[in-house]
């Protein structure tokens, strides 16, 4: 019988080892799987490559993982946002590596990785610093650069509801990178507000089909990153 439900965030992340690549969902705090990230802080794995649109805020969630010295390399489109100070400090000190990727290229690299596409061509970044050194081709008179598909050992994602098969639905703009990261990771670990019985999610409304999800953890009342930042909280 298929049962993807795990008992706790700590159990679900227990095999994320040193040197792993980890995709982390969310756009700012929307969709950020904060309890799973905190479990990874507790676990203490080091030398991680993290693929995420931003670099967190304050000293909680992704920012806490970075502040804890666990991340060697970030693949990211926008590493400075309001209340984001941990990444800039470490970056200026030369203690963390950055691969800056245009946001649409980042999303498409993840989607392509999940779809078994090793590389593709895009017009984004042609003639700019971020297109330098990349293979170029001309199709129908327009220039394109080659970008590689991205895969990862693990994905940490937040969704709204899931069933034991791993079918997921999300909330509003908290969906963002979740569906494609589930596709692109060998092990997609998802925290949901509620685990429901099979059949409770209308098959017509499933956003991420269960085949892309390996582990599901119920976190009924997730912490809100901006509230923690406002309170000046620091994890752990």
Partner 1 sequence: MSQPSQQPTGWSRHDMARLAARDIHDGAYVNLGIGIPELVTQHVPPDHEVIFHTENGLLGVGPSPAAGSEDPELINAGKKPVTAIAGAAYFHHADSFAMIRGGHLDVSVLGAMQVSSRGDLANWSTGEADAIPAVGGAMDLVAGVKRVVILTEHTTKTGEPKLVAECTYPLTGCGVVDRVYTNLAIIDVTPEGFVAQEIAPGITFRELQEKTGAPIIDGRPRSESQ
Q: Does 102 bind partner 1 (CB under 8 A)?
A: yes
Q: Does 138 bind partner 1 (CB under 8 A)?
A: no
Q: Does 162 bind partner 1 (CB under 8 A)?
A: no
Check: CB of residue 145 under 8 Å from CB of residue 122.
Answer: yes
CB of 104 to partner 1, least distance (A): 3
Buried/exposed 16-44: b ≥16 CB within 10 Å, e otherwise: beeebbbbbbbbbbbbbbbbbbbbbbeee
Q: Does 194 bind partner 1 (CB under 8 A)?
A: no
Tell me the C-alpha distance between 186 and 16, whole Å: 12
Among 56, 178, 212, 228, binds partner 1 (CB under 8 A): 178
Among 65, 179, 191, 210, binds partner 1 (CB under 8 A): 179
Q: Does 125 bind partner 1 (CB under 8 A)?
A: yes
Q: Does 113 bind partner 1 (CB under 8 A)?
A: no
Buried/exposed 156-191: b ≥16 CB within 10 Å, e otherwise: bbbbbbbbbbbbbbbeeebbbbbbbbbbbbebbbbb
Q: Does 117 bind partner 1 (CB under 8 A)?
A: no
Q: Does 197 bind partner 1 (CB under 8 A)?
A: no
Segment near partner 1 (CB under 8 A), from 2-10, 41-49, 96-104, 197-205?
A: 96-104
Is 218 in a helix, a strand, or coil? strand
Tally of CB atoms within 10 A around 233: 14
Q: Does 61 bind partner 1 (CB under 8 A)?
A: no
Nearest to 50 by CA among 147, 146, 137, 152: 152
Q: Does 14 bind partner 1 (CB under 8 A)?
A: no
Sites of contact with partner 1 (CB under 8 A)? 27-31, 53, 77-82, 87-88, 91-92, 98, 100-105, 107-108, 110-111, 122-130, 170-180, 207, 224, 226
């Amino acid at each position: 019988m298929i049962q993807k439900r795990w008992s706790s965030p700590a159990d679900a992340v227990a095999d994320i080892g040193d040197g792993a690549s980890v995709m982390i969902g969310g756009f700012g705090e929307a969709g950020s799987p904060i309890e799973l990230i905190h479990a990874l802080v507790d676990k203490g794995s080091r030398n991680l490559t993290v693929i995420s649109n931003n670099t967190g805020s304050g000293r909680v969630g992704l920012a806490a993982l970075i502040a804890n010295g666990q991340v060697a390399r970030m693949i990211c489109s926008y590493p400075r946002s309001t209340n984001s100070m941990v990444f800039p400090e470490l970056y200026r000190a030369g203690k963390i590596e950055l691969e800056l990727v245009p946001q649409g290229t980042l999303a498409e690299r993840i989607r392509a990785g999940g779809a078994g596409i090793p590389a593709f061509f895009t017009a984004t970044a042609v003639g700019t610093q971020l297109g330098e050194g990349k293979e170029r081709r001309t199709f129908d008179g327009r220039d394109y650069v080659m970008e590689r598909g991205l895969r990862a050992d693990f994905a940490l994602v937040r969704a709204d509801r899931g069933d034991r098969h791993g079918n997921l639905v999300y909330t509003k703009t908290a969906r963002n990178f979740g569906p494609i990261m589930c596709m692109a990771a060998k092990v997609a670990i998802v925290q949901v507000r509620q685990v429901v019985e099979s059949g409770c999610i209308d098959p017509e409304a499933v956003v991420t089909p269960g085949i892309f999800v390996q582990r599901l953890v119920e976190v009924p009342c997730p912490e809100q990153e901006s509230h923690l930042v406002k309170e000046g909280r620091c994890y752990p």
